[in-house]
Amino acid sequence: MHIGELAETTGLSLRTIRHYDEVGLLPASGRTEGGFRVYTVADMHRLQTVKQMKPLGFSLDEMAELLALLADRDSTGLTDSAQERLGSLTSEAKIRREKLIRNLRQADELIVRLEASSDVSAGQ
């Protein structure tokens, strides 16, 4: 698929996808004769993984590491140390997810307080 199709499918901008290509996180699988990037379904899955990692605050290096681990797991299997690292990244993702949940709860509490204040102010 072309970059536009990939962007539409994943909900990411062309600029973001090009950036991931430039930093080596998601290089295009090929190019057309005209030089346009071409992506595969596997590339789309990699990009979806990156998209899932982004809100958790993973760095580009961590994203690249995780993508490599997942690719190795799917093709040749993982060494014990690689399996341990994947477990570590999984644990880190869970910790970061819990932090996001706490932040969302705090945001919800603030919204409730603000709405209550608005109701009181409107009644005066």
pLDDT at 118: 81
The number of domains in the chain is: 1
The mean per-residue pLDDT over the stretch 87-107 comes to: 97
Kindly state the DSSP code that residue 18 receives in the 8-state scheme. Answer: H
Please report, for the domain that includes residue 8, its CATH number. Answer: 1.10.1660.10
Under 8 Å between Cβ of 37 and 21: yes
pLDDT in tens, 25-79: 999 899 999 988 999 999 999 999 999 999 999 999 999 999 999 999 988 889 9
What predicted TM-score, i.e. pTM, was given to this entire model?
A: 0.81
Torsion angle of alpha carbons 51, 53, 59, 65, nearest 10°?
A: -100
Domain that residue 60 falls in: 3-123
The angle at the Cα of 65, spanning 73 to 4, to the nearest 5 degrees, equals 90
Kindly state the average pLDDT of the residues 10-31.
93
